[in-house]
Amino acid sequence: MNPSSSPTSSLHLAMAAFFGASLMAISAFFIHKRSVQHVLQRLIEIRQHRLMDAEEEEEDELIGARNQGFGMEVEEEEESSILCYGIPSSDPNVNVGLSDDWVEGDDSPQIIGSLDKSNLPLLQLSRTHGSSCSLKASASAASISSETVGRNLLENSVQSNLQGKDLLNGEDGKTTVQESLSSPAKRPYENGVPAQKTRVVSCERKAILDLPANIEVDMSPTGDEGNDFTADTVLPLKAAIPEPLSMEEEEVRRMLRECLELREAYVYKEEVAPWNEPNDVASAVKNADLFHFYPVEKTDHDFRMEDGVIHVYASKNDSVELFSVPTATKFFTDMHHILKVISNGNVNSACYHRLRFLEEVYFSFAYDNIHLNPKTMQKFRLYLLVNADREFLAQKSAPHRDFYNIRKVDTHIHHSACMNQKHLLRFIKSKLRKEPDEVVIFRDGKYLTLKEVFESLDLTGYDLNVDLLDVHADKTTFHRFDKFNLKYNPCGQSRLREIFLKQDNLIQGRFLAEVTKEVLSDLEASKYQMAEYRISIYGRKQSEWDQLASWFINNEIYSENAVWLIQLPRLYNVYKNMGIVTSFQNIIDNIFIPLFEVTVDPNSHPQLHLFLMQVVGFDLVDDESKPERRPTKHMPTPAEWTNAFNPAYSYYTYYCYANLYTLNKLRESKGLPTIKLRPHCGEAGDIDHLAAGFLLCNNISHGINLRKSPVLQYLYYLAQVGLAMSPLSNNSLFLDYHRNPFPIFFQRGLNVSLSSDDPLQIHLTREALVEEYSIAAKVWKLSACDLCEIARNSVYQSGFPHAAKLRWLGGKYFLRGPQGNDIDKSNVPNLRIAFRHETWKAEMQYVYSGKARIPEEIEV
């Protein structure tokens, strides 16, 4: 053997051994891999069979639930089933290293969910304070990759339809979130696979599990879905999830609640609502002859004037008053408290943000047939864009109803200016032509006929035109209330005003009665337009009431389309300087003593008794921009007010309120109509006026100065105080049209209506109210639904009787929310009414921290 060949042979042997070992190792590796894959594939098949069995059992249970009344349809299960290893939230998130062979279906990670279809019962979130919202849990099966399983899965991520029933507890289908957290859900195959194995949890379940424990999940079905007005609608969120409040925010809410409670304690409300009165009483008032007095028995009530307020007693011998009213000192103290709240910086900031929230931002719900899902946060303009078509379609479905065919009330119009300038000109010409020799006035020691009056003015009927009449407001009247009042004088002559626009003149107001009947005739011809006319009582003498009542009754002034309010001009300083009165007490006596006399004994003023059947309100009028001193907590009594200065607005308002409050209590106890306090307020002047109006008044006229006080504006919204706004009148006096806050107030949900105020000075057409609506619609781009909602508000604000509102708004108009709306009467879709109502409820719950008690009926 050659020694030199030995190293070569050893190398060959070593290489052969290495190759053989390598080949055997590779063969063993592939054999082992194939065996492992076979075992794993077999395990997957076994688990798939068990999953299919569970699906069939669950499908049977869902079909049984539907047959028992759940009304759910069971969807077909997806062909691919998902089974994966989940990691509990308490364990570290690590990759379990599973191969792709463990997942069936598409390799790309995806989560497929549905918010529109579901075969789960309704989830009802019931809050502790009564407000609730519902969730419809739904999700389809999800396909995920092994990488998603390893790194992205949490216990509360996505839940398949098969796991939806795990939230149910018992046959009633209700459980609380707290219980579902404390007891783990049942897991299939928990004895056959590791404990970490879980299903994919739905996003909806994660949202539910993240809620506080005091919110209950109610999965019971809702009521009659066929009559559910909320189908396919978008509404505001009923209540936000409660969050811990800071001391500052809690203090703000407490002060707002105090203000609302103060108003609740002051404002007069009838003990028995009109819809709860016996039918015989209502029919007796309706069938009464308005121009024939039937003797009424006098009662034993006695009344006495004490410190400017009349107190009523059961008889002359009694010393206990029947109806107590807050004193002047208490009122001025409470008003100063309101002013203190208004000036608080934190309250101003909070109310400003809430008002912006009302105007712009809304949490809304989208409804399907019977289920409610949280949808999104929307701005107000987006809300209108989303729902405008729905509202329009709903209005189309209302037969014989459009803007022209719904009742709309002119909630603020002065009787002396109730006609337009062309109408007055035509009437003057006709009287000058037909009755030139009628003695109409006594001037300069002699009686003058109508013809002689015009000759003294160097005028003839042919010369008269609208421009010469000069009763229309122009740019010279802006911020000049004195010049505006001069426009009541035709041709600039006070004698023509006395002849044609006064009821206490030589001809006993015959011309005014005739033109009033023409205006009422036009109103009745329109059928769907109503008006609330203001007529003046000045307080110079007590006989004014009988004089006004005789003018009404003798001329038979009445229309089903009109009611009347008494307006008191605040002219104490004028009368004092003229020597007509000696103190403010004289005005209080002249206004209220005749009203108490006729209420106790109708036989003492029979015509006044009949006239008061048409009177629904009391108004305070005059220039609010005049400077005045803010009242202190301790003010002189009316008898002590003997100086030449006019009392402050709030001083006038309180003493009118206090006497009206007692008068209304007395009249209500005798079954007579009551008189609401509805003054001009907030047109100009100090913010004190609006604070007094908030405490004392049922409704107000104008209110444009609310734009200067976020706190008062928010309080007026919460209390839903009616605002009879007149943008065209404001444009002539105090505020340019484009700066008027009406559209902002309307968007935020304040209780606003449109009114004409003074057609003689402001408007050009015969239908002043429609002119007001049409200009507002064009300038502010109001929709047909907006106009109908404003018209509906005007009917609610008005003083028309209950029987009339039943005909105009429907048999349940006194209920809050969509239950009280009848689109066939109001032409306002339930969607809009529900939106307004739910938004207001949410704000009330915000102020009362979820403890607000919302009455079912409106306030009268």
| Helix (H), strand (E) counts: the chain | 30, 22
Look at residue 594 in the predicted model and tell me its pLDDT. Answer: 97
Q: Which residues, including other chains, have CB under 8 Å from residue 462's CB and lie 6 or more apart?
A: none
Strand order in the sheet with 234-236: 234-236, 361-367, 372-379
pLDDT at residue 750, rounded to an integer: 95
Catalytic residue selected from 371, 609, 702, 763? 702
Q: How far apart, in whole angstroms, are the C-alpha atoms of residue 290 and residue 293?
A: 8
702 is catalytic: yes
Contact predicate 837/818, CB 8 Å: yes
Q: How far apart are CA 430 and CA 428, in angstroms?
A: 5
Q: Report the chain's terminal Cα–Cα distance, integer Å.
A: 130
**Blockwise average pLDDT, block size 10, the chain, 860 residues:** 60 82 82 80 76 64 48 39 38 40 39 38 40 38 37 37 36 39 39 39 38 39 42 47 77 96 95 78 56 88 94 91 94 97 95 87 38 37 74 84 93 93 91 90 88 87 81 76 73 83 89 95 94 95 95 94 96 93 96 96 94 95 89 93 94 97 96 95 93 97 95 97 95 91 94 94 92 96 94 96 94 93 93 90 93 86
Domain spanning 259-418+527-847 has what CATH number? 3.20.20.140
With tokens 């079912």, the residue in question is 856
Q: Is the dihedral of CA 166, 171, 172, 178 positive or negative?
A: negative
Helix/strand/coil (H, E, C) string of 114-181? CCCCCCCCCEEEECCCCCEEEECCCCCCCECCHHHHHHCCCCCCCECHHHHHHHCCCCCCEEEHHHHH
* Binding site listing for substrate: 414, 483-488, 683, 758-761
Q: Is 365 helix (H, G, I), strand (E, B) or coil?
A: strand
What residue segments make up the domains of the chain, in order of their start? Answer: 70-218, 259-418+527-847
The pLDDT of residue 74 is: 37
Residues 358 and 350 sit within 8 Å (Cβ to Cβ): no
For residue 672, the Cα-to-chain-centroid distance in whole angstroms is 30
Is residue 462 within 8 Å of 472, Cβ to Cβ? no
Nearest partner of 795 among 753, 829, 733, judged by Cα: 753
pTM here is 0.72
pLDDT at 272: 86
Task: List, as one string, the DSSP characters of 414-450.
Answer: EGGG-S-HHHHHHHHHHHHHH-TT-EEEEETTEEEEH
Answer positive or negative: Cα dihedral of 340, 346, 350, 352.
positive
